[in-house]
Amino acid sequence: MELPTPESIKKRRIKLGLTQASLAEKANVSQPLIARIESGDVDPRLSTLRSILTALDEMERCKVTAKDLMTSPVIAVTSSDTVDNAVKLMEKHGFSQLPVIDGGVPVGSISENSVVQAMGTEDFARVSASQVRALMEESFPAVSPGTDMGTVSHLLETYHAVLVMELGKAVGVITKYDVMRLLNK
């Protein structure tokens, strides 16, 4: 059995997005001990090392990724679809925004906000018949299926949604609602 090095413990902790204090709490040891172990100042007892490794293993198993959060398949419109069609899709699926995808490539997004704003300045029939490209906003950011929840949550602070892309294809969408659903699990 090969024992982990102080560097490998620190690397695993950082990869999981854990602070020394949070790892210490999960392993039932003190934060200063974690700091001393990671710096190589102290050689921990085997039982302490086992507690730390068990905590790291458990956190790796519990790690939530974009693939775990996403809604699939992706419901999208093209830039040449009518706004009326986009609104009907949003109503049907209970979404407040949709990605705009042309030929498999994300080119923008359309939201309830952009439609409502346009209706304040344009005739309803004109807005309804116009193409999505006329009201299109910037595209949602894209992540890979293995992206951690912390990164996705950070993106959702700024954007309506996040696209999950795999091999150049949109395979899922994540919204704030998808992240909040974790509270019910």
Domains of the chain: 6-62 (1.10.260.40), 67-184 (3.10.580.10)
Q: Which pLDDT value is given to residue 66?
A: 93
The pLDDT of residue 3 = 82
The phi, psi pair for 123, rounded to 5°, reads -70, 140
**Measured between alpha carbons, how far is 45 from 37 in angstroms, rounded to an integer?**
10
DSSP class of residue 70 equals -
Across the chain, which has 185 residues, the per-10-residue mean pLDDT values are: 86 86 93 94 91 89 85 96 96 95 95 92 88 96 92 92 95 91 68
Q: DSSP alpha helices (H): ranges in the chain?
A: 6-15, 20-27, 31-39, 46-62, 66-69, 83-93, 112-121, 124-129, 149-156, 176-180
Q: For residue 59, what pLDDT is reported?
A: 84
Residues 6+ apart with CB under 8 A from 81: 131, 132
Is 171 strand, coil or helix?
A: strand
**pTM of the prediction?**
0.68
What secondary structure letter does DSSP report for 131?
B
**Contact 51/30 with Cβ under 8 angstroms?**
no
Query: Residue 89: exposed, middle, or buried by beta-carbon count in 10 A (0-12, 13-18, 19+)?
Result: middle
Question: What single DSSP character describes residue 74?
Answer: P
**Residue-level pLDDT at 37:** 94
**55 Cβ contact list (under 8 Å, min separation 6):** 23, 26, 27
